[in-house]
Amino acid sequence: MGITQYIHQSNDFRYTFFNLALRLVTGLLLLLKGIYFVSHSQQLEAIIMSSNARPAVTFLVGYITFAHLFGGAFIMLGLLTRFAVILQIPILIGALYFNLTPNAFGTGGELLLSIVVLVLLIYVLLYGSGHVSMDDYLKKHLL
């Protein structure tokens, strides 16, 4: 094996590892936030009640909670990754809106977390789930 093949394989490994690490961190953050929303659903309801979305409070609390739980797990597994990310992006845009308003429940850390997760979601949306994912496995072995 020549030096150029070794460098090429090394770069592929680094890209694959970087992509996997970012996808796992994104999914884990969403999954943990979903668990937080399950245990603090009254707080989430109060935030939504303070907005113009009062008629849809029950739907939004359920959508946000379960989208974070299942979307985070799917993103970590790399299963239907882009679909899961598309379901998350409106929630994160709403989180940015609520964290920028004066009566937000979070601190500056919540705003920073929302921005970081939104950027990670956009990265995963653009680059996909990568080689180490259920999507790639299903594509290679079942289709």
Average model confidence (pLDDT) across the chain: 84
pLDDT at 106 over 60: no
pLDDT at 18 over 80: yes
Mean pLDDT over 76-83 rounds to 93
In the numeric block, which tokens belong to residue 23? 């996808």
Question: Token match 């707080």: residue?
Answer: 43
The helix/strand/coil state of 103 is: coil
How large a percentage of the chain has pLDDT more than 70? Answer: 83
Instruction: Output the CA–CA distances (angstroms, integers) from residue 130 to 25, 121, 122, in the order listed.
Output: 14, 14, 14
Mean pLDDT over 106-123 rounds to 84
- Chain centre to alpha carbon of residue 119: 9
User: Of 106 and 14, which is predicted with more confidence?
Assistant: 14
